Amino acid sequence: MAEIRFEGVDKHYGKVEAIKNLNFVCEDKDFFAILGPSGCGKSSTLRMLAGLEDITSGSLYIGGRRVNDVKPSERNVAMSFENFGLYPHFTVYENLAYPLTVKKMNKADIREKVLVIAQEMQLTSILNYMPGSLSNGQKQRVSIARALVRNPDVTIMDEPLSHLDAELRGYMRHKIKHTHRALGLTTVYVTHDQVEAMTMADKILIMNHGVIQQLGTPDEVYFNPANEFVAGFIGTPQMNFIACSIQSEGTAVSLINPYGLKVVLSDEQKHMLGGHAGPVKLGVRPHNIQMFTEKTSGRLMTGEVYIVEPLGETNIITIKVGDIQIKAETEPSFKPKLNDTVYFDISSDKCHLFDGNTGKAFF
């Protein structure tokens, strides 16, 4: 069992509060991603888990054992570092063998374990190389292999793919996910790349400014973001946020903005909005905006084409509505010219609504 539990954990660096009141649980055998922009405290969280940083206050449990004062070597966690952290004067074989040598395992067992993991990570042919002569992709695979070689309770990965090129990143994503399943690991994975988190993780913890924003499955954080930050961080192209005000006409409630935007809310949405009357932000993902070149029905809003970004299977079109810009994802056949007038529609069942002041999601 290697359930990880953070209970009210704070981390201060001098006067800087890097992490405030962190509470979460990572279940045994989960692939748990911690996602956030640079400086959000995700690496500090990870380093506290590994034991490389002290915990200022609060408690950290691994498998039910409080490990605040337990040395990294006694936590049975393995870590793969962003900068690989390989031993430069050891060969790849010696790098992989080191965690086992430290445990005083006998040589034959070490050799067998290293060869198996090397085969798994396709390192067999480079076992006698020095790290200095490897490519980044190979170094990263060595680093991950070294983390996996000793059956750790928890495997920690700190942005392992950030130094790789796009193609290799895709390959390694699948490799890591497969290894996680095959070996039945509990993996904590830190990244600033939402694609990595979405594609690999069972659970995603999103952090910003040292505070948890949301914890959920990839579907949950994508379809039901807890606040504006999460909604904006997950998904590419980014969700559109449009400042609106609430207008009530009889029983109907709609969102309007000065540029002719109008979205009528459903009964359920009205209920979720409660009696809120202050400023709000409408959030809508680019592929939920329908675009037309001609005005066909009375409900459509008008904008001017600002940028067209063809991606092959879709086009990303940025339109200007007054002084705001809205991105829409359309069929590749829809190719308006710059400065054309286009018409668009936002269906209310596909949009999100956030409090204009706090950013908290209504739905």
Could you count the other beta carbons within 10 Å of the beta carbon of residue 17?
A: 16
| Binders in 192-231 for another protein, by CB under 8 A | none
Determine which residue in the list 85, 137, 216, 237 makes contact with another protein, applying CB under 8 A: 85
Q: Could you tell me if 330 and 310 are in contact, meaning their C-beta atoms sit under 8 angstroms apart?
A: no
Strands 4-13 and 77-80, by their bridges, are unpaired
Strands 289-292 and 280-284, by their bridges, are unpaired
- Give backbone dihedrals phi and psi of 109, rounded to 5 degrees, phi first: -65, -40
Among 88-96, 239-247, 305-313, 349-357, which window interacts with another protein (CB under 8 A)?
A: 88-96
70 part of the interface to another protein, by CB under 8 A: no
Extract the tokens encoding 4: 């990880």
Q: If binding means CB under 8 A, how many residues of this protein chain bind another protein?
A: 40
Determine which residue in the list 73, 236, 341, 347 makes contact with another protein, applying CB under 8 A: 73
Bridge partners for 342 per DSSP: 303
Least distance between another protein and beta carbon 75 (Å): 8
| Binders in 8-67 for another protein, by CB under 8 A | 50-52
Least distance between another protein and beta carbon 81 (Å): 6
Determine which residue in the list 4, 22, 44, 113 makes contact with another protein, applying CB under 8 A: 113
- Specify whether the backbone of 226 is left (phi greater than 0), alpha (psi in -120 to 50) or beta: alpha
Site string for another protein, 129-168 (x = CB under 8 A): -x---------------x---x-----x------------
189 part of the interface to another protein, by CB under 8 A: no
112 part of the interface to another protein, by CB under 8 A: yes
Extract the tokens encoding 79: 């870590």
Determine which residue in the list 87, 223, 260, 266 makes contact with another protein, applying CB under 8 A: 87
User: Edge-to-edge strand order for the sheet containing 77-80?
Assistant: 77-80, 154-158, 187-191, 31-35, 203-208, 211-216
Residue 339, SS3 per DSSP: coil
Residue bearing tokens 């029983």: 251
Among 12-20, 95-103, 188-196, 214-222, which window interacts with another protein (CB under 8 A)?
A: 95-103
Q: Residues with Cβ < 8 Å from 248, sequence gap 6 or more?
A: none
Determine which residue in the list 38, 106, 125, 133 makes contact with another protein, applying CB under 8 A: 125
Residue 341, SS3 per DSSP: strand
Provide the binding-site residues for another protein, judged by CB under 8 A.
Answer: 50-52, 71-74, 77-79, 81, 83-89, 91, 93, 98-99, 102-103, 111-113, 115-116, 118-120, 124-125, 127-128, 130, 146, 150, 156
